[in-house]
Amino acid sequence: MGAVTRGTTNPNRLRRMDRWIAAAHGAELRRAADPVAVDLGYGAAPWTAVELLARLRTAAPRTRVVGVEIEPERVAGAKAYERDGLAFRRGGFEVPVPGRPSLIRAANVLRQYDEDEVAAAWDLMRGRLAPADPATGSRGGLLVEGTCDEIGRRHVWVALGPEGPRTVTLATRLGSLERPSDLAERLPKALIHRNVPGEPVHAFLRDFDRAWAAAAPYASYGARQRWIRAVRDLTADWPVTDGASRWRQGEVTVRWEALAPRR
């Protein structure tokens, strides 16, 4: 289910998203009886699935990765890269893998769809996630859907559980950043057309730019220290969910409800 995407990709493009997933979801992957992660829409080459396996196994060594693509020729070409813990199959938003995956990563897929198609795609993918288990404290599987630039310097993604959207994360190579609102062009499809006055995501980026400007004196200590100070100031008015250990990576994560589109 879905449409064929352009399929453009580059090695190491999704490193920021992968590192965040390993840190934020590693415990869930370790807890799972059979931790399966899906790289949905990996594109014309299988690099992102190969890299996802390596990165997730640093946090959860038993993790298996299945690359899923809707274009048969791409799947056929990826078969040469299969090995223990890595497989490829044809499919789309229905995520045709056995059982319930612990993770679905859909990067640079929905960007090519219309905004009104996002909710249905999210629902299909969320419906395939491993369910929450109160007995073990598991929150269930995680869907990570977002967009990045061609070489992975700027990236924004939404994290969703079986119950719905949880957070929005902005991640960037700080040395390439002029102001936080530079990330607006990489907002996922659910938010990119909402970056207009009156919408929460626009207010957030406006406040982030102001905090960044106020933190200019910290630039003498490096872009990382300026980012950390700006994010710390943001926490007074916005529900930032992570801490300095992630801010140092050029990240900030905010609760979805604070940025969700107004209907």
Torsional sign, CA 257, 30, 99, 147 = positive
pLDDT of the residue at 127:
97
Q: How confident is the model at residue 4, as a pLDDT?
A: 84
Q: What is the pLDDT of residue 203?
A: 98
* DSSP one-letter string for 113-177: S-GGGHHHHHHHHHTTSPPPBTTTTB---EEEEEEE-TTSSEEEEEEEETTEEEEEEEEE-GGG-
- Rounded Cα–Cα distance for residues 208 and 127 (Å): 34
36: nearest Cα among 57, 13, 11: 57
> Structure tokens of 238?
């916005």
Domains of the chain, start order:
15-172 (3.40.50.150), 174-253 (no CATH)
Per-residue tens of pLDDT for the chain, all 263 residues: 888 887 778 899 999 999 999 999 999 999 999 999 999 999 999 999 999 999 999 999 999 999 999 999 999 999 999 999 999 999 999 999 999 999 999 999 999 899 999 999 999 999 999 999 998 889 999 999 999 999 999 999 999 999 999 999 999 999 999 999 999 999 999 999 999 999 999 999 999 999 999 999 999 999 999 999 999 999 999 999 999 999 999 999 999 999 999 97
